[in-house]
Chain A
């Protein structure tokens, strides 16, 4: 690891200023991903701006919704009474992620900014357009068992690894950011990017912009929700594929639905068409199968991830079944 400057501002403006002028600087909060990447030489910031002194860890009711501070730990959010009451899907997704230790350290903002787990991104000896634009995509013709089936480009087929973000995408969250040019609100669907020709950019954050909070509007998804994570071992593994499912049921009829998938695209993959299909239908396995087929319409596989074309719809069905079964 190279030497770097370390500063620990107590005011938000100072933190933002520190990054605004210095493209080699990075914010650090939980550090669970950044420190790992620095150890492997994947990221080499010249300056770290420790934002842990900023007062950004509250979880509170706000404007008919829930506001979660960017520095709230994954554990704090997963076990927060308000979250469990209003957005149990989010709590489930958080608990499915990482380990108890990592959830103690990791923050909401940092979780959203996790980098992909693509093998080629992580290994500086391999080509990767995300790590080193122009060097090529190792996964495209390589081992792509974990990789995308939606929204990829010929530059990058990596997937986003966050579980929490899949739930936030399903729940129509909004990301609050503060930057050199003031504050703005980014709808969750617009927060992460598809790779296109610039896979090095994971998100639409601009230089110096700091995530301050996430807003989740209150909704009817307080009971019939399920976060399904498919993995090779029973815990502490990144998803082969995951599904966040939320249903608003009325006497067995679906009044409203939310669906998003993880492990299938460069960003959490919201299934809008499938959701629309579900509304007004009976909550049966047959309905779920049809919705899953709609969800998978544009999916395309590579050499090693064709199983996702089947695992995807199956997991959607299972997640919806589990969400329905909640008594």
Chain B
């Protein structure tokens, strides 16, 4: 590869879609102008299990402006529903929930009717007139009461190396139970869809992290060929895992549109967000840690339970941090999923890892106290130089440096380790830390690059940008690899018609899509170089490609920058209206030979009110090893977001079910608390910023989740340090400390 001048990757470039977002011009799912669109409002079940006994839609149908009320009785058929294979979402085991299919109720707030009217007000009123009576059947929604029904999930097998439960044999050992509540994504944009049929061509405007997967879900459900299904999702108002599959609102809008013969728009209500679009499942976990007196881990055992629905088995990576975080000869993990009469959970930022790491990193802190060892020293004592799960070398690991920089910036050495040893006025002060580990992988992705006659470059890939700044970093990668200036590049995403890309999830967009954008732009540049060198009479004809520099839309001679040829002129000379290259990329065998992970170290200071038990996070230092940083501004924002999520998870977020009714009772944003601006501490985000040599040609690793992994434990550890009270069941609310 020719040596290139310093590029724009790594620069804190402003977001390419910033102007659209600050002017209100960015259009989200419910905001696309679609001629003749009608409004739909869902009616959802008020029992958790049973069947519809009576369904009276007469009053609703007569209400002003109403076109129809769609129910299982009159709904158009979903062809895929009649086939068990087509009803199995390939990413989850089981049969997906069937909308307006029969009279069976599988969870609370299951859609039972869709009122469609000319205006939103009319549809909402009509929905309120639909009368449904249920024959209720006993339901189970409490994980704790149903642990015996847990089974080993098909996608997450138990793991063991050395001797199981060996921790019990260690001179110092502990066994503790930890719990995390149901956490709801609650993106600010409530899930919405506009569905439009033209003959048997289906167009859906929605919010999705995966335009291609959404398209495939719809193809499978409606048995349509790829060219007949279009999914548009140019802007996504927050997702965090909650827009990772087709959900009931899309299906309902599609069926409604088919039924009334007009496009239908539908937005969920906030309380429906709690049941209809996934959530982080509740976890109940047991950690066993044993160590010798010098802190060397003798054995680690992690047992975890999580809930799923009755109709699908959702499994997550809850025990994964335990398997790879620390060196130990003996390790076993057990994970069971319990089916309950609730809707299926789904991936939620730091899926599994953030729940599991709360147990692991809390237990490590407890072990440090038991050993009278510093928690950082304990972690360094058990530092894993290769991945303990499989003995593979790390693709890259700079966690030691994370600890060192974090501790130094935070002032960790000044900490008095004794609990309840520091007080400022009415507040008890505590400091805690944790580390995080999260997979960093790369999936197959495709991108198309099209250089126009005017020198502008269009890059397309069907990825999404739910907020991390995908369009921006792809523009930067494309600029460096192609030699076209970033302001002349447009990156298109959020549309199923674009070249396939994986879902934006699991922190792999920068590595997967970033790699193929890099590759396609390198290929484009090489083609331009070849064209320039092969041009008769070209000044570059005898020049080896390594002596050509691509910059600002021109090829320059490395030794003599006055010799230059613009891309526009290359196309002109060749009589080309444009130059288009498509590449697919998935990386080589080196990926399988290495363990790809991102790492972080979290240092947290909390103040706990001595009398009221209120906890406020005051100071955070988060040091992240996520490979090369592609954009320091957006990367920092990602970690800031992870910290905010961590504070929410640690201190306030909890969806509470009244098991008598089987539904959440705090199902809005006044009662389900997410952090507000006043909760923000001083946050110091630092990056190791060393390129990973294996995972992607850009040197990037995954970044979206890593800052959240372990964070809640750092808060809990700090709360213990402040108060002497160990809270093992999140969230850490005042009632647990007063």
Pairing of A with B: yes
Tell me how many residues of A have a C-beta within 8 Å of chain B.
35
Instruction: From B676, B677, B736, name the one whose CB has the most chain A CB atoms within 10 angstroms.
Output: B676
Bound: A138/B46 CA distance, A: 15
Q: Return the 5 tightest CB-CB contacts between A and B, nearest first.
A: A307-B735, A234-B678, A235-B678, A314-B611, A119-B665
- Per the bound structure, the CA–CA distance linking A34 and B121 in Å amounts to 17
- Verify if A143 is at the interface (C-beta below 8 Å from B): yes
* Chain A minimum-CB-distance residue to B64: A3
Q: Is B671 within 8 A of A117, CB to CB?
A: yes
| Contacts A125-B46, A126-B661 known; 15 new A-B pairs at CB < 8 A | A1-B124, A1-B128, A117-B671, A120-B665, A122-B668, A125-B661, A126-B658, A231-B614, A232-B673, A233-B675, A234-B679, A235-B676, A235-B677, A314-B611, A315-B612
Q: Are A232 and B612 in contact (CB under 8 A)?
A: no
In the bound complex, do residue B670 and residue A311 qualify as a contact, i.e. CB atoms below 8 Å apart? no
C-alpha gap A123/B660 in the complex (Å) = 14
Interface centre among A3, A235, A238, A311 (most CB of B within 10 A): A311
Residues of A close to B677: CB separation below 8 A: 235
| In the complex, A58 has a CB within 8 A of chain B | no
Render B647-687 as a binary contact track against A, CB cut-off 8 A, 1 for contact: 00001100010101101011110110101111100000000
How far apart are the CA atoms of A311 and B609 in the complex, in Å? 11
Q: Is the CB of B734 within 8 A of A232?
A: yes
A11 within 8 A of B: no
Can you list 27 A-B pairs with a CB-CB distance of less than 8 A? A2-B128, A41-B128, A117-B670, A122-B668, A123-B665, A123-B667, A126-B665, A230-B614, A232-B651, A233-B652, A233-B673, A233-B676, A233-B678, A234-B676, A234-B678, A235-B676, A235-B678, A235-B679, A236-B678, A238-B671, A307-B613, A307-B734, A311-B735, A311-B738, A317-B611, A318-B426, A321-B426
B302 within 8 A of A: no
A232 contacts B125, C-beta separation under 8 Å: no
A208 CB → nearest B CB, Å? 27
Residues in A2-19 with C-beta less than 8 Å from chain B = 2-3
**A131 to B: closest C-beta gap in Å:** 14
**CB atoms of B121 and A311 under 8 A apart:** no
B113 nearest CB across to chain A (Å) = 15
Set of chain A residues within 8 Å of B738, measured between Cβ atoms: 307, 310-311, 314
Question: In whole Å, how far is B108's beta carbon from the nearest beta carbon of chain A?
Answer: 9
Interface size in chain B (residues, C-beta < 8 A) = 39
A236 to B668, CA, bound (A): 13
Does A237 sit at the interface, judged by CB under 8 A? Answer: yes
**In the docked arrangement, what's the CA distance between A119 and B657, Å?**
11
Question: Do residues A3 and B678 form an inter-chain contact, with CB atoms below 8 A?
Answer: no
A142 contacts B by Cβ under 8 Å: yes
0/1 string, B422-448, CB within 8 A of A gives 1: 000010000000000000000000000
Instruction: Given A232-B734, A307-B735, A311-B734, decide whether A142 and B658 contact each other with a Cβ distance below 8 A.
Output: yes
- Is the pair B678, A230 in contact by a Cβ cutoff of 8 Å? no
Alpha-carbon distance between A145 and B654 when the two chains are bound, in angstroms: 13
- Which residues of B have CB within 8 Å of A321? 426
Q: How far is the CB of A232 from chain B (nearest CB, A)?
A: 5
Question: Which chain A residues numbered 220 to 237 have a C-beta less than 8 Å away from chain B?
Answer: 228, 230-237
Q: How far apart are A145's CB and chain B's nearest CB, in angstroms? A: 7
Interfacial chain B residues near A29, Cβ < 8 Å: none
Write the chain A residue with the least CB distance to B654: A232
* Set of chain B residues within 8 Å of A315, measured between Cβ atoms: 611-612
List the A residue with the shortest CB-CB distance to B657: A143
Give A232 to B679 CA distance when docked, in angstroms.
10
Interface presence of B616 (CB below 8 A): yes
* A-contact bits for B59-100, CB 8 A (1 contact / 0 none): 000001000000000000000000000000000000000000
Tell me which residues across on chain A come within 8 A of B675, comparing CB atoms. Answer: 233
Partner of A119, one of B426, B611, B612, B671: B671
Residue among A1, A120, A232, A235 having the largest count of chain B Cβ atoms under 10 Å: A232
B611: which A residues are within 8 A, CB to CB? Answer: 314-315, 317-318
Minimum CB distance partner of A228 in chain B: B612
Chain B min CB distance to A43 (Å): 13
Q: Which chain B positions have C-beta within 8 A of A314?
A: 611-612, 738
Q: How far is the CB of A84 from chain B (nearest CB, A)?
A: 22
Task: Please give, as numbers and ranges, the residues of chain A lying within 8 Å of B633 by CB-CB distance.
Answer: none
Which residues in B have their C-beta under 8 angstroms from that of A119? Answer: 658, 665-666, 671
Q: Report the Cα distance A238→B668, complex, angstroms.
A: 13
Kindly identify, within residues 698 to 738 of chain B, every residue whose CB is under 8 Å from any CB belonging to chain A.
Answer: 731, 733-736, 738
Distance from B64 Cβ to chain A, minimum over Cβ atoms (Å): 8
Tell me whether A214 is interfacial, beta carbon within 8 Å.
no
- Expressed in whole angstroms, the Cα–Cα distance for A236 and B679 within the complex equals 10
A142 CB contacts on chain B under 8 angstroms: 658, 660, 665
* Measured CA separation A138–B678 after assembly (Å): 33
Q: Are B612 and A318 in contact (CB under 8 A)?
A: yes
Q: Interface digits, B266-294 against A, CB 8 Å rule (1 contact, 0 not)?
A: 00000100000000000000000000000
Binding site for B on A (CB under 8 A): 1-3, 41, 117, 119-120, 122-123, 125-126, 138, 141-143, 145, 228, 230-238, 240, 307, 310-311, 314-315, 317-318, 321
CA distance A233 to B660 in the complex (A): 28
Provide the residues of chain B in CB contact with A231, threshold 8 Å. Answer: 614
Report the nearest A residue to B122, measured CB to CB: A3
With contacts A119-B666, A237-B673, A317-B611 known, is A1 near B125, CB below 8 A? yes
Query: How many angstroms between the C-alpha atoms of A123 and B661 in the bound complex?
Result: 12
Distance (whole angstroms) from the CB of B121 to the closest CB of chain A: 7
Bound-state CA distance A321–B425 (Å) is 12
Given the interface pairs A234-B676, A315-B612, the reply to whether A240 lies near B735 with Cβ below 8 Å is yes
Residue contact B46 to A145, C-beta cutoff 8 Å: no
Interchain CA distance A182-B376 in the complex, whole Å: 73
A145 surroundings in chain B (CB, below 8 A): 735
Known: A120-B665, A232-B734, A233-B679. A138 touches B614 (CB 8 A): no
Please give, as numbers and ranges, the residues of chain B lying within 8 Å of A117 by CB-CB distance: 670-671
Distance from B48 Cβ to chain A, minimum over Cβ atoms (Å): 11
Residues of A within 8 A of B125 (CB): 1-3
Considering only residues 517-539 of chain B, those with a C-beta below 8 Å from chain A are: none
Q: Given that A41-B128, A230-B612, A315-B612 are known contacts, is A238 also in contact with B734, CB under 8 Å in the complex?
A: no
CA distance A117 to B669 in the complex (A): 12
Kindly state the separation between the CA atoms of A75 and B731 in the bound complex, as whole angstroms.
33
| Neighbouring B residues of A123 by C-beta, 8 Å | 271, 665, 667
Given A2-B128, A233-B651, A315-B611, A240 and B734 touching (CB < 8 A)?
yes
Complex Cα gap A307–B611 (Å): 12
* Residues in B110-143 with C-beta less than 8 Å from chain A: 121, 124-125, 128
> Are the CB atoms of A311 and B612 closer together than 8 Å?
yes
Task: Tell me the residues in window 608-622 of chain B with beta carbons closer than 8 Å to chain A beta carbons.
Answer: 609, 611-614, 616
Q: How far is the CA of A3 from the CA of B65 in the complex (A)?
A: 13
* Residues A138 and B734 in contact, CB atoms below 8 Å apart: no
Minimal beta-carbon separation of A37 from chain B (angstroms)? 12
Contact of A1 among B121, B663, B668, B673 (CB under 8 A): B121
Contacts of A232 in B (CB 8 A): 614, 651-652, 673, 731, 733-734
Please indicate the chain A residues that have their CB under 8 angstroms from the CB of B673 in the complex. 232-233, 237
A311 CA / B610 CA spacing, docked (Å): 11
Q: Which residues on A sit within 8 Å (CB–CB) of B612?
A: 228, 230, 311, 314-315, 318
Which residue of B has the minimal Cβ distance to A238?
B670
B259 CB, min distance to chain A CBs, angstroms = 24
Which residue from chain A places its CB closest to the CB of B668 in the assembled complex?
Answer: A122
Min CB–CB distance A303 → chain B (angstroms) = 12
Q: Name the A residues within 8 Å of B660 (CB-CB).
A: 141-142
Report how far A321 CA is from B663 CA in the complex, Å.
42
Chain A proximity of B569: nearest CB distance (Å)? 56
Rounded to whole angstroms, the CA-CA distance of A117 and B668 in the bound complex is: 11
Q: Which residues of B contact A125 (CB under 8 A)?
A: 46, 661, 663
Per the bound structure, the CA–CA distance linking A234 and B671 in Å amounts to 14
Smallest beta-carbon distance B677→chain A, Å: 7
In the complex, A263→B445 CA distance in Å?
A: 54
The digit string for B613-647, where 1 denotes a CB below 8 A from any CB of A, is 11010000000000000000000000000000000
